[in-house]
Amino acid sequence: MWWTALIGPVVDLFKTEMKNKAEEKQAVHARKLKSIEIEGSWDDIQASNASGSWKDEWFTVLLSIPLIGAFYPDALPHVIAGFEALDSMPDFYKMFLGAAVGASFGIKALSKWGGKE
């Protein structure tokens, strides 16, 4: 019949389009899985490297000093002066300090804290 000759190419075009979309979705899914695998490997490496390090504990103690000092009236002026001094530091220093703390506690923790994940 004449209509099968007309509809056949349309059906083939539709099938090809659906196949292309399915392949595209599979490729996106594969990229996401690869990203998750890489992220998991990074977490394993970071955990392994941090197992014998005091860096996290050092930053925790260092960050706790102003927190504790804020509750002692004699220490409060020093805490405020310290933060004012940090505020006057160059931006590159503040970024390096933030990167060091972020590396210690985990970049993912900072990204979650910022509401980006």
d(CA 32, CA 27): 9
Q: Which of residues 53 and 86 earns the better pLDDT score?
A: 86
Q: Which of residues 2 and 75 earns the better pLDDT score?
A: 75
What band does 25 get if pLDDT is binned at 50, 70 and 90? Answer: confident
Q: ∠30-31-36 over CA atoms, to 5°?
A: 95
pLDDT digit string, tens, across residues 57-105: 888 888 889 999 999 999 999 999 999 999 999 999 998 888 888 777 7
d(CA 80, CA 66): 9
d(CA 99, CA 105): 10
d(CA 71, CA 8): 80
Q: ∠86-91-93 over CA atoms, to 5°?
A: 65
pLDDT digit string, tens, across residues 39-49: 666 666 666 66
Virtual torsion, Cα 7, 8, 13, 15, nearest 10 deg: 110
Residue 78 has a pLDDT of 93
